[in-house]
Structure 1
């Protein structure tokens, strides 16, 4: 069995290079997994199932680079940092973002199809359900992340026309695909999460999805859609299923205590202990003296601030699901739905866990409360891969946020309505599948 899986992993690794991922033509003699144990091992293959697109942090505005360091970066990073017209230049593929996410979908489809051939018995039902739920969860995870990069923010009036991303639903790589609409992408991933929720285990394990993790991702998706009523229900459900909020006065953050692991394991550009990834001063100064999260910031040799991972992941930043995000979703939804006082109470509960001496925040108006909550969301979730999606939804709702980068004497600008909020699809995918590209001008 292990030999079978090793062969499968090797084949998958070879598939990720060269032609577009959606245009893979594997040999008919390829040995693939067939047993429930095989499928479980596939869904426990950490480098795949935990993968998270690094570009969701690269494009965002919480950090800056000095010009000399920027010049030394690889082409894809250098161009993405300034939201260039031509991101790829002569590069044709993008393993860390497009291909890895579609690998997650391909593996999920392999498992989902394979499970249909395995009879469910009293003896294997628990394992079968968990593997089934994990595959659905992983496909939803990948589709959501792809949508944040390559599609516009979900906007109900136009979602059925806005270009989303392809949704392969078969393990047959000859399946003809197209760019589904944003509406279709979100409908599919929401349906996958709905189906996954009763299948996965109730016990929380960072290495595999639980009910609390499914509800957490569900809440994240619904918040991005602007569906605050349902996002409030799902975030509350996640907290009720497992409240893993860590009190920094008595404990420490640890990826093993989270709801679900997520990280960029493909040689990340933005990683902990990189003193050249400097945090913007307007963000740093928002942390109060009693804020224990200040210990995550360090000064480099030039006296500028950088950020270190608080989740015991070495050079990697945690980009998965955790209870702190659920409290922030809950608070934001409560205030947007008109319950200002409950929203501030929810936020204060979270902040008591990150301050050594805390005085409750108060807000006189709904607008003031929302401003406080969104500021705390940015502070709590730095380098968690969420800021880019947040900026897109804020601008969808009329925030008119413009991003700027300054390198030497030159300033680069990303205006609120720029098409550059959509990341370009890799060139090899456009060539092989013929799907339309995201325009940059």
Structure 2
């Protein structure tokens, strides 16, 4: 943790002195690095604005274990050990004592704590209140967001037994001498919710750009959290509140989505109408929209798209071997989108309404989304009166719409496996050997890296 704090402060130094033009100025800055401590609102905003230490810290390892992608035997053999282990749901995952899937999110959480602790010492003038609230709200948002992502990989699905299930070590201070033990999963989610609610009260409705959190994004995060908890009333409420601020959807018939581009959508967009908050994944290129990605789209998923569904051509391309590869990330680059966008929020509200038996409202949300996904004049609005059938349809559309986004398919498999009606057993065949992942298997929970166990003495996950 002391190493991570040094990185946090070093990041601030890099930002502060990035304008130095002479080598001796930079060397002098390095000599004085111990003296460069963030103290002002501008300093703390600079920490939170550093794109490459926050917006690219999202772990996407869960995608390896889903049913959306497969590896050919040849591609499996040339993958890294971590990827091979994740793909077959091996008991051992990490080839070394640490992993960025754990370290990178906790580094962002520490940055958030540095900002929140530092703000307590800032002298505010009357004109600083809005900026102070904004910076504080951003720090709460990031802490909530990255704890949420950690929980999806390193904890069980949230259930009525979560009081006794292990959660995460909740670190609410930048003091590296404080060693937190694992809380219960219930307590972990309570902290995530508390931070997200604080962000909602402090942030502007829409930020200056989608690299900074906003109220719309924070409300969307709360909708995600409550969906994962199975609290559909609150998931629908927060999705609705988020959509009141931004309800825009991108028309896939527009020139904004373009088959002539390698990655279909504009690169690292600031103006994408659906994106409330922009983030992207890092590492494990098996499922990234890269030209060299190893992952192949499962035919089961690809065949869900019908004629005139623009997602089939915008999200994928077919190589010379007839294999379908992923290409349609909202990052417009070879990175997976891991932010918060309105298409997901519509689907959260639709699913929640369907589970609440508000069939008309659920159907309205689903048809609204799909109208923008089919070729013009080729979509006929769905008419489904049975809530169970509608729920199944929404879950299928959720899979089709959010493919390759963060760890969403992994999260959905975990949470839906707690319902008998939606349990799914996954299988892989690699070099003639079959591997199996049963519903609610402990292997849906990744092991905590050994260096964390050794340093903090927290309990390891069952595998």
Normalised to the residue count of structure 2, the TM-score between the two structures is 0.87
Match in the other structure for 1:337: 356
- Tell me the CA shift for residue 310 of structure 1: 4.1
Verify the 8 A CA contact 2:363 2:384 in the aligned structure 1: yes
Match in the other structure for 2:416: 394
Counterparts of 2:217 and 2:162, CA distance in 1: 26
Partner of 1:362, secondary structure, is coil
Partner of 1:423, secondary structure, is coil
Partner of 2:338, secondary structure, is coil
Match in the other structure for 1:315: 334
Verify the 8 A CA contact 1:263 1:320 in the aligned structure 2: yes
Match in the other structure for 2:462: 439
- Tell me the CA shift for residue 31 of structure 1: 4.1
Match in the other structure for 1:105: 109
Deviations 1:389-420 (A, max 9, x none): 11111011223211111112111100113210
Partner of 2:127, secondary structure, is coil
Change (3 A) 1:10 1:430: farther
Counterparts of 1:100 and 1:271, CA distance in 2: 18
1:32-431 map, 5 Å: 32-50=37-55, 51-89=57-95, 91-95=96-100, 97-155=101-159, 157-204=160-207, 205-250=209-254, 251-252=256-257, 253-254=265-266, 255-256=269-270, 257=272, 258-266=275-283, 268-272=285-289, 273-295=291-313, 296-356=315-375, 357-385=378-406, 386-398=408-420, 399-431=422-454
- Tell me the CA shift for residue 365 of structure 1: 1.2
Counterparts of 1:5 and 1:93, CA distance in 2: 16
- Tell me the CA shift for residue 30 of structure 1: 7.0
Deviations 1:22-70 (A, max 9, x none): xxxxxx9574312211100111111222221121222222100011111
Deviations 1:84-104 (A, max 9, x none): 011124x10002x10001001
Match in the other structure for 1:25: none
Deviations 1:129-182 (A, max 9, x none): 111000000000011001000111111x21111001111010011112101111
Counterparts of 2:169 and 2:7, CA distance in 1: 27
Q: Size of the alignment, in residue pairs?
A: 419
Structure 1 vs Structure 2 CA RMSD: 2.0
Counterparts of 1:192 and 1:283, CA distance in 2: 36
Counterparts of 1:35 and 1:10, CA distance in 2: 12
- Tell me the CA shift for residue 123 of structure 1: 1.9
Verify the 8 A CA contact 1:309 1:315 in the aligned structure 2: no
Counterparts of 2:12 and 2:247, CA distance in 1: 39
Deviations 1:196-227 (A, max 9, x none): 11211222421001111011111000100011
Change (3 A) 1:72 1:10: farther
Deviations 1:231-290 (A, max 9, x none): 101001111111231111224355422111111234744211335311000111111111
Verify the 8 A CA contact 1:59 1:80 in the aligned structure 2: yes
Partner of 2:162, secondary structure, is coil
- Structure 1 unmatched ranges of 5 or more: 13-27
Verify the 8 A CA contact 1:5 1:32 in the aligned structure 2: no
Change (3 A) 1:228 1:207: same
